[in-house]
Amino acid sequence: MKKIIETFKNIYRIEELRYKLALTFWMLLAYRLGTYVTLPGVDPNMLQGSAQQSSGGIFGLINMFAGGAFARGSIFALGIMPYISASIVVQLLSLAVPSFQKMQKEGEEGRRKINQITRYLTIVITAVQSIGFLINLKSENPQAIVSITNPGEMSDFIFMLTATIVLTSSTMFVMWLGERITEKGIGNGISLIIMIGIIARLPFALKEEFNFKLSESGGGLVIFLIELAALFAVIMITILLVQGTRKIPVQYAKRVVGNRQYGGVRQYIPLKVNAAGVMPIIFAQALMFIPSTIAQFFPNYEAMQGVMAAFINPMSWTYNITFGLLIVIFTYFYTAISVNANQISDDMKRNGGFVPGVKPGKSTADFIDNVMSRITLPGAIFLAFVAILPSLANVLNINSQFAQFYGGTSLLILVGVVLDTLQQIESHLMMRHYDGLMKSGRIKGRNAVGAAV
């Protein structure tokens, strides 16, 4: 306890860190307050249809990512997911379109152009999703739409136009908040915004699960305590997954420069089992939201049969198998972006280092790439397994809202983002020669992969 108090004192003593934490807190608070601001022309007291719709299923997941804003008909109802979707499209284009590949190689100027294109694409995606959200809102809660003018087509058109503009502008504001947090605050802003929305739903989910277990068909308090213990075990395993590494030994040859001797020692390159962090989960989940977005344009989506209905139901085999495969694919995709074997090999060769038994240059790059591929596969499979755990938990009679925290996207994002943020705070403390947050060892985060979002 004494060490924790001393750590908080050390954090307060560092003016830059204090400023970053305060800025991050106020911006996240502004986002949370915005989730309670209802769209103009919507009566928040008449949104029973949205509340019922978002109590489970894919819309419940969307509502969780938006911090409850979806069910409340808030100006932040779409959250940050349109920006995530735009980022996916742009990154895929960067692999296939030569002009985008050229921009990536232009350094800071190229990144600025790509960011600008991502923002424009976010506006387009948000506008389309806004229309789908409003059509679904009118279908589920026709009594909640307040006609400001005389009822009629013009009134509906004015409502749709103004609400679409508000939703689009609000998403761009949330995106701006995330970018400012990343630039001037602590942690990755976009990831923190998603995380804070998830955390906001946790107390309600715990309350619902507790009440459900105390009911006649729930199983009792003992079962609830067992579920909490199992959740704690899953969290510990997830932390090990995020922090797990495979170390490659590197021998540095002796070099004499002037009167000083360099090298002659063995060091290790830590390759992370999950180098991509939580980004594969976020990207895969954004793609899985596409069927539900399409379904919003057809309010009677429950009557839809076949493939679309299966993709809307997160408990279906089709949904979970597709979700798992997308996570594995995006894990390899993001690992290839974040871990450049050729660059690592060149850096080692330039500094007189080599992997024992492996020739420097291309052979070393191939060796690192092969090791990375082998350790990424089990990491990707386990990541996919944790992501579909909520479906298994739901089958075991766990309330659907609480099941979302029982592994899955929510838990992986919470663990990954918290570790990443704590790692940045730890770096500030260690840089000023203060003790870190932990007694033994440094906190290992996600190598800031989330900054790519």
When pLDDT is cut at 50, 70 and 90, the band that residue 165 belongs to is very high
Q: Is the pLDDT of residue 94 over 60?
A: yes
Which CATH number goes with the domain that contains 274? 1.10.3370.10
Question: What number is the average pLDDT over the span 435-441?
Answer: 53
**What pLDDT is recorded for position 392?**
79
When pLDDT is cut at 50, 70 and 90, the band that residue 29 belongs to is very high
Sign of CA dihedral 211, 212, 216, 218: negative
Domain count of the fold of the chain: 1
Question: What number is the average pLDDT over the span 120-132?
Answer: 90
Domain that holds residue 303: 2-452
Question: What number is the average pLDDT over the span 67-81?
Answer: 83
List Cβ neighbours of 152 (8 Å cut-off, separation of 6 or more). none
When pLDDT is cut at 50, 70 and 90, the band that residue 147 belongs to is low
CB atoms near residue 197 (< 10 Å): 26
As a whole number of angstroms, the distance between CA 250 and CA 270 comes to 11
DSSP bridge partners of 246:
271
Angle formed at CA 448 by CA 266 and CA 118, multiple of 5 degrees? 140
When pLDDT is cut at 50, 70 and 90, the band that residue 453 belongs to is very low
**What pLDDT is recorded for position 446?**
47
Angle between helices 189-214 and 408-431 (to 10 degrees): 130
351: left (phi over 0), alpha (psi -120 to 50) or beta: alpha
Take residue 153 and report the two structure tokens written for it: 């087509």
404 three-state secondary structure:
coil
As a whole number of angstroms, the distance between CA 389 and CA 429 comes to 36
pTM, full prediction: 0.72
When pLDDT is cut at 50, 70 and 90, the band that residue 149 belongs to is very low
Least confident segment among 74-88, 183-197, 258-272, 339-353 = 258-272
Q: What's the chain's length in residues?
A: 453
As a whole number of angstroms, the distance between CA 164 and CA 184 comes to 30
